[in-house]
Structure 1
């Protein structure tokens, strides 16, 4: 007897659809894994060889997380499961795209606190366009094929499963996923999670990074009390009671004098006294240094808040947050800041920045920091436009015009001209030789222009009688060269190997203090950072800053800088958290870990103390 043709056709058709559905699942798993793999290696979070045990673990963990996600989709959705898989794929792809673009600029994947600052995306439009690569098309190549598969297996052709079968398939996928992820998770140092989120992505993949970030956000912002516990209060008290007492060298040396502090956009220390094609890159800064006290081992400590973090460090002597900007997350806290401390001494204070007042939430945060006035874009007359707005030269001149110099004042000048991505300087007339047309070349041109503006500021100060009658400070806010964009050219320019040790040493910014008789023309090699600015000023002005976390650079023999990612630089070693390696500062070779473990923990504990103070508003 011949088999029923209709039954045969239906059976074969059903097998065909089952095969296509199987391909759909494999495509979902493979595509997401490849996108995560692409993110991890193009950002250089993970580096070749691909067979390295760290990379293998990352891939295993990533596959495990994807299987866990797929298992719950299979359990919760029946005939709509493929459409849900497609939607989840689109959502996760969008997140990884955001991670990729954000990382290329900030050297970190995106976080929930950063998403709360989504308003910054508009002004960063040009920067975002500059960050996109043609090869990023990999993020969307799979979507047409998955959409086609979902349409072929539309609802009336997609077989439903009874609850028992769905439960069995869910358990199989879930257990395989948990086992894969769990093996890797069990062999990671969870105590580092709170310091270095990149550590999570490197070892467990970008998908789990977001799960951990979400868990941390909920814990810190919803489940955690804002009240300071007795244990936390004791930790804060112990830290400040153990700090070095205020020194006597140069104490009150500039008492009663006005203060002008310049935060220079993306200015790195490697440019100082450097020439290219026979010309100085920063001639005006070099000249100022010859007449000032210069710190050449001064590290930037800004994190995801970039420029705003540097402002916060310099004015409060607290560390920035590991995620998001303090200006957005805690803009109304009580801060024992430089403007507030100076106010008690009878000073007025003002901040000047020729950009949108809402950017980085400055208009709100500056009130908490204690500035009496904030002059932003709308407060300046139109003038020469460079980069994002009014040139630094125009901002400097107008800021001095707005300053009441008849009484002690503190002016905080935040520059803007040399801002990423530096494309505006591609045709600027400064010869950068072999680096013409490169990211590094444009950056050098931009900083040469910014240096010319500093020259105008110095001329203005001298003409107004302020140069020798004012405490003048200048420092860089953060790096200008991201490792992924200009790192290779920078290492070539500096004539050093492209490795973690040499890269760490380049994460310095200049710090200059000018005041007549204050070690003029001398260079101080003390390892230091932006958190040390406030206590150094306090000593020079002759008042106490008992709750500054930094050290007075004129009265210390302790050279160290703690970075927000938990890296630590001292005058003896560099601990680089990304590869968890300690390098001897003299040889650049890996040093014995156990020798410095206790000291490292003490330095890193400062980050915890600072976090408690900020998150619990402990100074209120």
Structure 2
């Protein structure tokens, strides 16, 4: 062993080349795990050599055991990172990133939704580390450290720098050539392809550079002008379909209750188990609602918090990480802030920690007066990821009763979130088995049942006389996190606005979650020109078939302006990373909108029974 260690460390190239091969094999293993074993995956994996060589080239700056230690730490770092990639990709279809490390306030219960991914073959990436560590420890006393004379030897130092410079330059040039070539390739806009097209190591290098850039981001004058120009074009996309013109102002002056329904997919609305509806309460509410059956999820890494961002601010999510975490203190135009300024009391009710997704910081910033979190609940019974939704809805009724009117209440469920391990006593459907499909149906049905009880209690207390209830699904649940035999959902999420006494109507326009806010603003009676330079979505009551850009870059429908739509996520990312509303000339003084919303004038009694 001693002789082998001496021989391996004597040659300056041997150990670096070994590490290049080891990291390449781990990258290949990662790619096969994320995608599939195929000739194409193998060929694409060759893109890993250049970025790996860039990282390994720094080892030439070290001698003796310092080089061994550096190479071991690089191997350990990327082994841990690749393992995190495989685990993270299972849940979010993307690689782990530094932006996720920023999510310091994520609730501990979040681990429950990803814990099932940890016990698998992914641990194979660590198999060589004990041997490498033994090699490093064993080398002590065998591989002599540099002497002070060598350290002071200018010629030796120049040789090290020259060797490093040559290795770094060659691999870096090849890597940049690859990146520029791939950046023009179809599919690069889909983040799910980044591990394959950029290579795992290359993707993380780009991610780290982007993280550093965004942490010190300041919008240039050119970028501010670019955002301004996008909003100017956006103002032409609000032409309302004539058949919906009379809906304008139908929500003016009403109390608004928003039910953010965790993991609610569209297919469950029409699905039955042995003749039992999965969502009978929702289906009944929709009989007196404006419903939008063609709305798609557009979340990024912020998952549920991204849905909140889109619903309340009309902005697309951050392209990396979570806007709630990274940009929670930005200046925002937001629905609760608008309603707050127009005399509404605003509150949010959620059965989780107040720091979950940084909501304790974000909510006051977007205009939420009171945040009722788990510490303030009277009934703290838990299931899965947080407090039971039965408790959530009972607490919400109490908060609504004691608040002043008009009010805006944002109620966010949690029991229907993965891991779908709802207790037997709460399984009302009787779906047999303990698999994810059964757990999902039971969890959704449970939350739906207590949504119905919530509605009945509000009705009994006379709270619905001048109230509208908005319900939307934040993202897919069973199809997002698990393999499933349930019907395909194709990323659709329910969205409907229930007004007691209203004759139901269905609006088939294709759209996304970013379109919810401009639709609600129209129904509140706000004039389009007062918010068209503040929100990025488009009114779902607009003319035409409609369109949506998914988080993968895929476009569905018929865009009014394809370039405008495909630029939207990039523009929104500029707004978030550069705090656009704080530095631009855009007036987010809400007085022009407030006058209409606060008036309570409604001309739409023809829609009521």
- Provide TM-score, normalisation by structure 1: 0.82
| Residue of structure 1 equivalent to 2:549 | 562
What's the offset of the Cα at 1:35? 2.4
What is the distance in 2 between the residues matched to 1:63 and 1:431?
53
Distance 1:406 1:231 in 2: 42
Q: Which residue of the partner structure matches residue 38 of structure 1?
A: 29
Contact 1:351 1:375 in 2 (8 A): yes
Say if 1:234 and 1:282 are closer, same or farther in 2 by CA, change over 3 A: closer
Q: Deviations over 1:264-316 (max 9, x none)?
A: 11111111120134432222222222332322111112211111111111111
> Could you say if the C-alpha distance between residues 518 and 429 of structure 1 is closer, same or farther in structure 2, counting changes exceeding 3 Å?
closer
- Quote the Cα distance in structure 1 between the aligned partners of 2:179 and 2:234: 36
Q: Which residue of 2 aligns with 1:210?
A: 204
Deviation of 1:556 after TM superposition, in Å, equals 3.4
TM-fit CA distance, 1:62: 1.2
| DSSP 3-state at the match of 1:80 | helix
8 Å Cα contact 1:352-1:376 kept in structure 2: yes
Q: In structure 1, what is the equivalent of residue 517 of structure 2?
A: 534
Q: Which moved more, 1:294-303 or 1:509-518?
A: 509-518
More displaced 10-residue stretch of structure 1: 157-166 or 282-291: 157-166
Alpha-carbon contact 1:17-1:158 (below 8 Å) kept: no
Going from structure 1 to structure 2, the CA distance change for 1:194 and 1:243 (only over 3 Å counts) comes to farther
Aligned position for 1:279: 276
CA distance 1:97–1:119, change in 2 (3 Å):
farther
Q: Is the contact made by 1:562 and 1:603 (CA closer than 8 Å) also made in structure 2?
A: yes
**Corresponding residue of 1:181:** 175
Superposition deviation, residue 384 in structure 1: 3.6
- Paired residue for 1:611? 573
Distance 1:256 1:192, change over 3 A: farther
Pairwise mapping of residues 366-515 of structure 1 onto structure 2 (< 5 A)?
366-403=363-400, 404=402, 407-425=405-423, 428=427, 430-433=429-432, 436-467=433-464, 469-483=466-480, 485-487=481-483, 489=484, 492-494=485-487, 506-515=490-499
Contact 2:348 2:411 in 1 (8 A): yes
CA distance in 2, matches of 1:603, 1:59: 32
3-state SS of the aligned residue for 1:451? helix
Please state if 1:550 is matched with 2:543.
no
Partner of 1:3: none
User: What secondary structure, in the 3-state scheme, does the structure 2 residue paired with 1:263 have?
Assistant: strand
Range moving further from structure 2, 441-450 or 409-418: 441-450
The alpha carbon displacement at 1:76 in A equals 3.6
Q: Structure 1 residues 80 and 609 mapped into 2: Cα distance closer, same or farther (>3 Å)?
A: closer
How many angstroms does 1:458 deviate by?
Answer: 1.9
Encode CA deviations 1:512-547: one digit per residue, 9 max, x unaligned: 211146441x33322112112222222222123332
Q: Distance in 1 between matches of 2:507 and 2:239?
A: 21
Q: Count the aligned residue pairs.
A: 564
Name the CA distance, whole Å, in 2 between partners of 1:291 and 1:271: 19
Q: C-alpha displacement at 1:37, in angstroms?
A: 2.3
Cα distance, 1:296–1:425 mapped onto 2, change above 3 Å: farther
Contact kept, 8 Å, 1:386 with 1:417, in 2: the verdict is: yes
C-alpha distance in structure 2 between counterparts of 1:280 and 1:459, whole Å: 18
Q: Distance in 2 between matches of 1:228 and 1:402?
A: 47
Whether the aligned pair in 2 keeps the contact of 1:75 and 1:167 (CA below 8 Å) is yes
SS at match of 1:123: helix
Residue 163 of structure 1: how far off its partner (Å)? 5.2
**Per the alignment, do residues 293 and 61 of structure 1 end up closer, same or farther by CA in structure 2, a change over 3 Å counting?**
same
Residue 61 of structure 2: aligned partner: 75
- Contact kept? 1:612, 1:618, Cα under 8 Å: yes
Determine whether 1:124 maps to 2:110.
yes
Which range is displaced more, 424-433 or 316-325?
424-433
Match of 2:595 in 1: none
Measured after TM superposition, the shift of residue 511 of structure 1 is 0.9
Are residue 87 (structure 1) and residue 87 (structure 2) matched? no
Please say if residues 322 and 565 of structure 1, whose CA atoms lie closer than 8 Å, have aligned partners that are also in contact.
no
Paired residue for 1:356?
353
Determine helix, strand or coil for the equivalent of 1:341: helix
| Long gaps (5+) in structure 2 | 151-155, 583-609
| Counterpart-to-counterpart distance in 1, 2:17 and 2:176 | 22
In the aligned structure 2, how far is the partner of 1:342 from the partner of 1:513? 17
In structure 1, the gaps of 5 or more residues are 1-9, 497-504, 573-595
TM-score, scaled to structure 2: 0.84
Where 1:493 maps in the other structure, the secondary structure is coil
**Whole-Å Cα distance in 2 between the matches of residues 102 and 270 of structure 1?**
26
Does the residue aligned with 1:420 lie in a helix, a strand or coil?
A: coil
Task: Note the C-alpha offset of 1:124.
Answer: 2.2
Question: Deviations along 1:2-34, whole A, 9 cap, x unmatched?
Answer: xxxxxxxx9x87885569998755653333223
Counterpart-to-counterpart distance in 2, 1:224 and 1:265: 35
Residues 87/112 of structure 1: CA separation in 2 closer, same or farther (3 Å cut): same
Q: Structure 2 vs 1, CA of residues 556 and 564 (structure 1 numbering), >3 Å: closer, same or farther? A: same
**Which protein has greater RCO, CA pairs closer than 8 Å, 6+ apart?**
2
Q: Is the 8 A contact 2:113 2:385 kept in 1?
A: no
